[in-house]
Amino acid sequence: METPCSIARTLEVLGERWTFLVVREALAGTTRFADFRATLGVAPDILTNRLNTLVEAGVLTRRPYQEEGKRTRHEYHLTPAGNELRVVLGALQQWGDTHRPYSKGPTITRRSLDNRPLNVAYVDDTGHEVPLNEVRFIRT
Amino acid sequence: METPCSIARTLEVLGERWTFLVVREALAGTTRFADFRATLGVAPDILTNRLNTLVEAGVLTRRPYQEEGKRTRHEYHLTPAGNELRVVLGALQQWGDTHRPYSKGPTITRRSLDNRPLNVAYVDDTGHEVPLNEVRFIRT
């Protein structure tokens, strides 16, 4: 059944910790099953399941590749929709770094091409930041 | 054990669909148990559990209130940390509305005080939007 809430629909794809972490690795450039597995330390059956979910949801695409003398394997690449999850994951990182800080500081920082620090925030239609206390959620 | 990844630490608090939806209702102004329950259609034991998790994590505070002739009950109000989840939830809504659209359109829109449409995006240290393809995740 279709649910009207876009948060609930997004969580149908991402509503589980491993799925978010697979997307985090994909955003950091990981493409191969063995590399996802090594970085995340996740069981192979769970990883297969999460990669399939993300392919079906249009977040990742599967592409065959073959190394000399080996059988064909698959790489997983972010689609444009998957790349837009950078906003969601960045918002989660930022909140965690502020409100559940790691004793040794952030493990990932978000930077512009000229190395300036970036934040995830609300912007208006002219691309200017809007303070959080001026953001309204309107039911339509 | 402390985990270095801020996404994983955030999901220790929010890593489950009902928890996100409780926060969504709190951001929309819901404060009372009966109202959370009615809007979400969630079982009372699950709701109690999720509200307790959010209080322990510093996202909500519990405040007593008493109506004439009734026993003392509790209201749940967002802390400043809870209010900052508006960025995370807004990012989830926006992604869902774009990539998993509802046939009847978005149920919630994000607007400025003067009713302009708002987006969640990356901004630099001067409060100007930075395009997604210019955002880099740097491991520290």
pLDDT digits 0-9 by tens, B40-62: 999 999 999 999 999 999 999 99
Residues 36-65 of B with CB under 8 A from A: 57-58
Which residue out of B1, B40, B89, B92 would a mutagenesis test of the A interface target, given it has the greatest number of A Cβ atoms within 10 Å?
B92
Q: Is B39 left (phi over 0), alpha (psi -120 to 50) or beta?
A: alpha
The whole-number average pLDDT for the span B24-51 is 94
**Which residue range(s) make up the domain with A110?**
6-134
Q: Is residue B1 part of a domain?
A: no
CB of A10 closer than 8 Å to CB of B100: yes
Nearest chain B alpha carbon to A89: B7
Q: Determine, yes or no, domain membership for A41.
A: yes
Q: Which residue of chain A comes nearest to B89, CA vs CA?
A: A7
Q: Which residues of A touch B100 (CB under 8 A)?
A: 6, 9-10, 12-13, 57
Q: Say if A1 falls within a structural domain.
A: no
pLDDT band at A137 (very low <50, low <70, confident <90, very high): confident
Report if residue A28 sits inside a domain.
yes
Domain CATH for A111: 1.10.10.10
Tokens 């444009």 identify what position? A80
**A120 contacts B129 by C-beta, under 8 angstroms:** no
Calculate the alpha carbon distances from B79 to A119, B76, B86, B123 in Å: 21, 9, 12, 24
Q: Which residues contact A139 (CB under 8 A, 6 or more apart)?
A: B28, B107, B108
On whether any CB of chain B is under 8 Å from the CB of A135, the answer is: yes
Q: Confirm whether A139 is domain-assigned.
A: no
The DSSP result for A47-101, as a single string, is HHHHHHHHHHTTSEEEEEE--TTS--EEEEEE-HHHHTHHHHHHHHHHHHHHHS-
Pinpoint the alpha helices (H) of B15-115.
Answer: 17-27, 33-40, 44-56, 80-99
**Cα separations in angstroms, A116 against A105, A131, B39, B130, B133:** 18, 20, 42, 11, 15
Mean pLDDT of A109-118: 94
Give the pLDDT confidence score for residue A138 in this predicted structure: 86
Least confident of A79-93, A97-111, B9-23, B24-38: B9-23
Residue B2 pLDDT exceeds 80: no
Please give the pLDDT value at position A1. 62
Please, how many CA atoms are within 13 Å of residue B49, restricted to the half-sphere of its CB?
9
Nearest CB among B17, B120, B140 relative to A109 is that of B140
- Rounded to the nearest angstrom, the minimum Cα separation between B114 and chain A is 9
Distance from CA of A71 to the nearest CA of B (A): 33
Check whether B107 has a pLDDT greater than 90: no
Q: How large is the average pLDDT for residues B85-111?
A: 92
Contacts of B135 in chain A (CB under 8 A): 86, 90, 110-112, 118
> Do the Cβ atoms of B33 and B74 come closer than 8 Å?
yes
What residues does A121 pair with on adjacent strands? B121
Cα–Cα dist B84/A131, whole Å:
11
Q: Cα(B34)–Cα(B75) distance, rounded to whole angstroms?
A: 10
Give the total number of structural domains in chain A. 1
Q: Say if CB A99 and CB B105 are below 8 A apart.
A: no
Between β-strands A108-111 and A136-139, what pairing exists: parallel, antiparallel or unpaired? unpaired
Q: Searching chain A, which residue's CA lies closest to the CA of residue B137?
A: A110
Burial (0-12, 13-18, 19+ Cβ within 10 Å), B117 = exposed
> Who among A8, A24, A93 is closest to B17 (CB)?
A8
For residue B136, which residues of chain A lie inside 8 Å, CB to CB? 110-113
So what's the pLDDT on residue B1? 63
In the predicted model, what is the mean pLDDT of chain B?
92
| Residue B101 belongs to a domain | yes
Determine the pLDDT at residue A86.
94
Instruction: Determine the pLDDT at residue A99.
Output: 94
pLDDT digits (tens, 9 = 90+) for A28-69: 899 999 999 999 999 999 999 999 999 999 999 999 999 899
Instruction: Give the pLDDT mean for B110-118.
Output: 95
Phi first, then psi, for residue B23 (nearest 5°) are: -65, -40
Q: Is residue B37 part of a domain?
A: yes
Does residue A114 lie in a domain region? Answer: yes
Residue A7 corresponds to which tokens in the numbers above? 């948060």
- Cβ count within 10 A of residue A18: 18
